Amino acid sequence: MRNRIFLKAMGAFVAVIAAATLTLDISIRHTWENAVHNDIEKLLVQNAQGFALRVENDHQHSLQQMAEEEARITETRVTIIARNGVVFADSEADAQTMENHAGRPEVVAALAGKIGSSSRVSHTVGIEFLYLAVPSGDKIVRLAYPLSSMQQQISSIRANLLRATILALLLALVLAAVIAEVISRRLRRIVRFAGQVAAGNLSARIAVTSGDEIGQVAMALDRTARRLEENFAAIRESRSELEALLNSMTDGVIAVSPDMKVRWANHAIAGILHQPVRIGVPVVELLRHPDFLATINEVLKSKRRESTIATSLSGRKSFSVTAEPLPDGGVVSVLHDISEIERVEKTRRDFIANVSHELRTPLTSIRGYSETLLESDGLLNDGARDFLQIIRRNAERMGRLTEDLLVLARVESGEEKLDLRPHSARILLAEAASSMQEDARAAQVELIIEEIPDWSVLADNYAVHQVFGNLISNALRYAQSGRKIVVGAHERQSGIEFFVRDFGPGIASEHLPRIFERFYRVDKARSRESGGTGLGLAIVKHIVLNHGGSVRVESSVGHGTTFFFLLPQV
């Protein structure tokens, strides 16, 4: 870590120093060169103008003497040129061998009465000069300053700049090493602290002695560790409370992971299975019941709650199994012992079936004897005949009641197995309406069949006829005010929904939730008068549920009632 920090810090320092050096070398050097060039040019102008006055007025010395003397004083090359370009004298070369200078730029400017300047390499001595020429009467005076001296000064400055850069790099090397060691030491403390927290030691803390960025990171990590410790303590407390609550339940609770392994189970599960629960083993090794395993698999696939009844799950006991998906993809299921409920329910069904069966014979006898007495002439007076009519009607009503109780007991217990086959919905409607047409005409009610497509449903023909018979008979009792009953069907997403609609007085909303309960009557007095037993809608409900369908009702007072039942579509 320290080496990486050192390399990064050193790289940053080198980049900054290199950028500063280049900036100095390019911008400041260029400015300095321009300033020096301008100063030299100004000095040359002053010297050239002074020398021009001397050449114009000094008649005691020769031009060559004056040129050499001026060159020594000003440390420049001095040339005196005629206006036609012929060189009269030069401080460093033989004037007679020099070429005509009339075409030189600085000479051309001086011939025009201006101060001429130019920089170039001399053809005579092969050195770059800064030339400056001024007019002097009938002559031109030119001074040349060798730029090599200025280049030497620039090279000296560059050498000094390079030495300073090397010194700065050495200092940066030392500084980067010191900074890398300090930062590395602080980061190693943070890494050790983070490692302790990651290993589960949430009580670990880190001392912060600086308020810089690294110190702020350390403080944030320290606050995070404190908050995690508090949250984990709260989670552990909540988990302990939840485990205590689940272990106190008499219902069995078992959690299964997405790979079908036991994640957790309460104490009741061990009592149900009569064996200790091992966490982490496949659930099939713990509980092999096919209905239970199928429910767990279905929840894992659908991610929806599923319920089932698992018979003989533990000995002869039956359990209601409710499975719910967990957020992580697992499943938690609750096993509720319903053995006693099923035993009581079976006892109730058997009692109702036995009593109903035993009542059939005496009721048949009562009805038969009453009908025989009523048919005899001259044996009874009018009062006795009225009493016999009452006895016969009640015997018939009790007979219907016992028959309905037997049917309901068989439907609820599942003893009456359904013969499920594909049937035409149109034919089912037509046959049901045809069998009830005589009763409709007797009640002076019009029975209308709505035209429907030829859908196919999976149903037991006889059982569905029982459903239609009960619903249409129920509608006939209450539809006389509307004088019309409509039967039909609609296609739904989950199947074909049949309906029986009457236009009678309707049912108040407070009765609708209980309308399918056994013996529940909306109008008890009228139901008795019409001969109803209060079991028809309960029979309808259980037949439809055994088909895997559903039943519902819609009604409002004064607008009639519509009963719906849904059957699976083929």
CA distance 112 to 107: 9
Residues pairing with 554 in the sheet: 562
Locate 60 and state its tokens: 């005691």
What stretch(es) of the chain map to CATH 1.10.287? 342-413
What is the per-residue pLDDT for 553? 92
What is the per-residue pLDDT for 412? 66
Closest alpha carbon to 544 in 479, 475, 470, 488: 470
Lowest mean pLDDT among 188-197, 332-341, 401-410: 401-410
What stretch(es) of the chain map to CATH 3.30.565.10? 421-567
Could you report the per-residue pLDDT of 194-251, keeping only the tens digit for each? Answer: 777 777 776 777 766 666 666 777 777 777 777 887 787 888 888 788 777 777 788 8
What is the per-residue pLDDT for 422? 92
The answer on pLDDT for 17 being more than 70 is no
Average pLDDT over residues 482-488: 85
| pLDDT confidence tier of residue 75, bands split at 50, 70 and 90 | confident
| pTM of the full structure | 0.45
Asked if residues 118 and 95 have their Cβ atoms less than 8 Å apart, the reply is no
Contacts of 109 (CB under 8 A, 6+ apart): 115, 116, 117, 133
The answer on pLDDT for 500 being more than 90 is yes
What is the per-residue pLDDT for 293? 87
What is the per-residue pLDDT for 417? 74
CATH topology of domain 250-332: Beta-Lactamase (3.30.450)
The answer on pLDDT for 32 being more than 80 is no
DSSP 231: H
CA distance 467 to 490: 17
User: Phi/psi at 212 (nearest 5 deg)?
Assistant: -75, -170
Could you report the per-residue pLDDT of 520-558, keeping only the tens digit for each? Answer: 776 554 444 444 566 778 888 888 988 889 999 998 888
Could you report the per-residue pLDDT of 370-424, keeping only the tens digit for each? Answer: 777 777 766 667 677 777 777 777 777 777 667 666 666 666 666 667 788 999 9
Under CATH, which number does the domain 342-413 receive? 1.10.287
Locate 190 and state its tokens: 């943070």
Beta pairing class for 446-449 and 484-492:
parallel
Under CATH, which number does the domain 421-567 receive? 3.30.565.10
Distances (CA, A) of 304 to 253, 282, 493: 18, 22, 19
What is the per-residue pLDDT for 563? 94
Mean pLDDT of the chain: 80
Q: Which position has the higher pLDDT, 141 or 380? A: 141
2-152, superfamily in CATH? PAS domain (3.30.450.20)
DSSP for 371-428, written as a single string: HHHHHSSSS--HHHHHHHHHHHHHHHHHHHHHHHHHHHHHHHHT-S----EEEEHHHH
Q: Which position has the higher pLDDT, 13 or 173? A: 173
What is the per-residue pLDDT for 525? 45
What stretch(es) of the chain map to CATH 3.30.450.20? 2-152, 250-332
E strands within 410-555?
A: 421-424, 446-449, 456-459, 484-492, 495-502, 550-555
What is the per-residue pLDDT for 34? 75
